Amino acid sequence: FLIALVVSTVSVLVSIPIPIRPVERGRQPSARSREVIRRFTWTGVLNGFSQGLLTPFLIPFFVVVFALPRSEMAVYSTISSLIGTFALLAAPALERRWGFVRAIVGTRLVAAALAALMPFSPLAAALGIYFALPGLRVAALPAQTSALMGRLPHADRSEGAGTNQAARVGAASGATAAAGYG
């Protein structure tokens, strides 16, 4: 906890000198901006809901179904997260090659198909899917964020990004809670 506190504090201190452009206070987004925000909010809701139904149960799935020790799953989880990190770095090249829509739809469709196959797969294949899922899930985020920011004027970008992320996180939380009753 102390390490997390120190890292969080340092991240705030590093951000302080970043210059910011003033934004008119009390300004309401235009009708066009509200429509863009609404569409991306629904994208966030759907992505978050699907993430919330799946992600919290992946490690227990391997522990229960394949009797893998939690310590071993910690290693696999680290590998999976690192693959997701590199997928984020590769995302701009993916978007340039496939385009905005195909990059998002393609990675999400492949992730959904693999997630559907995971429960029916032998251990090695299930682990391969587990390693690939985070990368496929996050590879579209830079393209999506870039598209959102490119469609909004500067003054509306914070509201757009905040609404999109709140929708994603809120839906993920709701899906995880609902899954506990299913």
For the chain, domain boundaries: 32-63+71-179
Tell whether the model's pLDDT for residue 18 goes beyond 90.
no
Alpha helices in 66-140 (DSSP H): 70-98, 100-117, 123-138
**Measured distance CA(146)–CA(33) in Å, rounded:** 15
> Would the pTM of this model clear 0.85, i.e. be above it?
no
Tell whether the model's pLDDT for residue 80 goes beyond 90.
yes
Tell whether the model's pLDDT for residue 118 goes beyond 70.
yes
Taking the CA atoms of residue 27, residue 38, residue 103 and residue 117 in that order, the dihedral angle to the nearest 10 degrees is: 140
**20: pLDDT confidence band, cut at 50, 70 and 90?**
low
Query: Mean pLDDT score of the chain, rounded to an integer?
Result: 88
Task: Output the 3-class SS for 38-59.
Answer: HHHHHHHHHHHHHHHHHHHHHH
**28: pLDDT confidence band, cut at 50, 70 and 90?**
confident
Q: Output the six-digit token pair for 82.
A: 């690192």
CB neighbour class for 166 (10 Å; exposed up to 12, middle 13-18, buried from 19): middle
Which pLDDT score is estimated for 153? Answer: 93
Which pLDDT score is estimated for 127? Answer: 98
pLDDT per position as a tens digit, 144-165? 888 899 999 988 998 999 999 9
Tell whether the model's pLDDT for residue 132 goes beyond 90.
yes
